[in-house]
Structure 1
Amino acid sequence: MHFDTFSDFLAMGGYATYVWGAFGATFLSLFWILFSSLGKRRQLLKEIEQKMAREERIKKAKTMENTL
């Protein structure tokens, strides 16, 4: 599709509302997925770190029991 002016490009042949709305919805969805994934990743890493620390405490407690 060939546009003579920039305003013709923005108007998208009369379909600007649909075209730019679709672009907006797509990018909004992509950003939502990105930030949601980053948040879940951070939460998962925190949970793993807590579980590892708990296992280490349990291991130390068992070795302390054997010294009594």
Structure 2
Amino acid sequence: MIWGSFAEFIAMGGYGLYVWGSVLVTGGGLALELALLSRRKRAALGAAALSARLALRGRRS
């Protein structure tokens, strides 16, 4: 498809709302997944560090 202007590109032949809405929802979902993944990674690393500290404390006693 060839668009004559930027406005025609955004309109996508009348389907722009669906196309750009889908792009925004998908991008938002990916951003949310990355944020939640980062939070889970931080929690897992914290739990592993706590477990290691408790294991070392148990060996000293």
Q: Taking structure 2 as the reference length, what is the TM-score of the superposition?
A: 0.97
Superposition deviation, residue 36 in structure 1: 0.5
- RMSD value over aligned CA atoms? 0.5
**Alignment-derived partner of residue 8 in structure 2:** 8
- Determine the C-alpha separation between the residues in 1 that align with 2:24 and 2:7: 18
Q: Aligned-pair distance for 1:3? A: 0.5
- Name the counterpart of 1:44: 44
Segments of 4+ moved more than 3 angstroms: none
For structure 2, the residue ranges without an aligned partner over 5 or more in a row are none
Larger-gyration structure (1/2): 1
Q: Would you say how many aligned residue pairs link Structure 1 and Structure 2?
A: 61
Identity level (%): 30
How far the C-alpha of 1:44 sits from its partner, in A, is 0.2
How far is the alpha carbon of 1:2 from its aligned partner?
Answer: 1.1
Unaligned runs of 5+ in 1: 62-68
* TM score, norm. by length of structure 1: 0.87
